[in-house]
Structures are given as C-alpha cells and as structure tokens.
Amino acid sequence: MSTPTQPSKPPSNPTLGFIGLGIMGRPMALRLLQAGYRVQVHSRREIPSDLQQAGAQPCVSAQAVAKTADVVITMLPDTPDVEQVLFGPAGVAEGLRPGTLVIDMSSISPMASQGFAQRLEALGCSCLDAPVSGGEIGAQAGTLTIMVGGRTEVFARALPLFQAMGKAITHVGDHGAGQITKVANQIIVALNIAAVAEALVFASKAGADPSRVRQALMGGFAASRVLEVHGERMLQRRFAPGFRIGLHQKDLNLALQGARSLGMALPQTAGAAQLMQACTAQGWADMDHSALVTALELMAAHSLPSPQA
C-alpha cells in the first residue's frame, strides 16, 4: 500500500541510531535530524561536520549506538557489511535491548536479509528491510522511494521515520520483499541507462547532435527520468557519483544470482552487468552509473562530443 507523505512523529520521540554515513546515509541522517529526531551516528570515517552541527551524537561503535537507541538504521554498501555491523564484534546485536527496531536500508541479498531478520527477532527485536531509490539528490531532498519488507505493525511504527526521508513509501510484503523490489528496481534502472547510452552514442556517430536528439525524445514515448537526468550527465560528462557503478554492479549480481536460484534467465540484465564490468576493468567503478556510456563509446570507437564551454 502506498502511504501519505506528510512527515509526522510518533507521540514519544524515539532516539535513533544511524550507521553508515556515505553518499546516501549522510543526507538521510540529516533529514532525520532536521525532522526533530535525536540521532546517534557511527561511521568508519569521520562524522561529517554538517551532521555534528545539526546535533548528531557520534558513537564509537555499532554496539554503542544500539545500547541507547530505540531504532537502529543501517545504510551500508553490501551484504557482508550489513552482517558485520549487525552481528560482528562490537556490532549492533551486542548492544540491542528487547523491543528495539532495526531497519536495514541498504541494498543487499534478499535471502540474507530474511536470515538477518530471523536472527534479530530471536533476540526479541523487530526489523524491517527498507532499501531506497532516488540517489543522492532524492536523499538530500527527502523524496526517496522506500520499499519495505516486514510485519505490518512494525511498518506502521516506522512510517513516520520513512516520511522524513522519502516520498513514495510502500509496504511490499514480509521480510525480504523490500530487497526483492530493490533488485527489480535496479534491473529497470540499469537497462534504461544502457538504452539511453546506446541511443545517444548511435545518434552521435550517425551524425546527429545528441543533445538535440535527447531534447526531441523527451517529448515522446521514450521520455524517462533516466533520459532526463542521466542523459544530461552523459552529455555534460558529469560522472561524479550519485550512485557508483560498483554498487550498481553489485545489485545486478544479486539479480543474476537470484535468477540462477530460480532457474530463470535475465539476458538483458546480464548484458548491462557486462557493460558495468567493462567500466570497472577500466578503473571507473567509483564513477556514477551514467558513466556506463563510456563502455559503449569504447565499443563504438566514438565518443559523445565534449560539452560546450
């Protein structure tokens, strides 16, 4: 079910713990602070100054975060990172109290997410998997799409927190359903990026102005958010990461692993994953996923024209 998007807080303002303050986590934690929540934070890196100025309380470990937080939120790169933070030495599990809510907003393996939920519930805690879409821009604006798996009553408890960070919030189903939805999202986004990149490189090599081609396509059935945002990134050569190729490649690997376990084929996803692998082989894993266009430029022996000064 989709939900209203006006932020609201529960009657008892909970203390939050937020672990993982990277490209996405930092602005998400800041949105929670701006909404009036008390937020304790932990990161492998130095705590960003804007979070400290907004009132974030640094903690020395994930365990320390969990000891006093009513809700612990994780936003980490990959499945092993989540497992380490939750269950490793000085991890969340070592500091949890019964009744604590753990929300993993990372993008990880759906099967692993279900296993983590079982382990957390065995400790007397509630949990949700709630991966997001919308990139750094959406995190900064508080307009993320949030896909949630877990029990209905737990989703209701967490809804005010999600409303501080996102706009389109959907409870998809039980544990792991949020992660399944995120994998599907990443398939669609990757194939759209590949399609936009192929179209622009084709148009340019054929002699048309790719900027004008993109402008024309934005008014037709080919129009999409990817054409609008990432098409412009490709043309302007703005590849500073909003979402890194390496992370999207990880998500496509989750899709392909899931497909193998289900006995099905994802041929287009496999092709997009190979394009991202080609970028990684060139050393571009930390570039924005719109830089996938560079792999196609190599294959075409043709680059999009440099933007005019």
Active site residues: 182
What would the two tokens of residue 26 be? 């930092």
Contact between residue 69 and residue 100 where contact means Cβ atoms under 8 Å apart:
yes
Written as one string, the DSSP assignment of 29-54 is: HHHHHHTT-EEEEE-SSPPPHHHHHT
**Phi and psi, residue 126, nearest 5°:** -100, 155
Residue with tokens 């005019």: 308
CB within 8 Å of 134: residues ≥ 6 apart: 143, 144, 145, 166
The Cα–Cα gap between 303 and 289 comes to: 17
Residue with tokens 């974030």: 56
Element (H, E) at 171: strand 166-173
Strand, helix or coil at 287? coil
Strand, helix or coil at 230? helix
**Residue closest to 43 by CA, chosen among 68, 13, 73, 15:** 73
How far, CA to CA in Å, does 73 sit from each of 12, 49, 102, 110, 230? 18, 20, 6, 17, 29
Helical pair 110-122 and 245-262, crossing angle rounded to 10 deg: 90
**Residue closest to 185 by CA, chosen among 197, 175, 170, 200:** 170
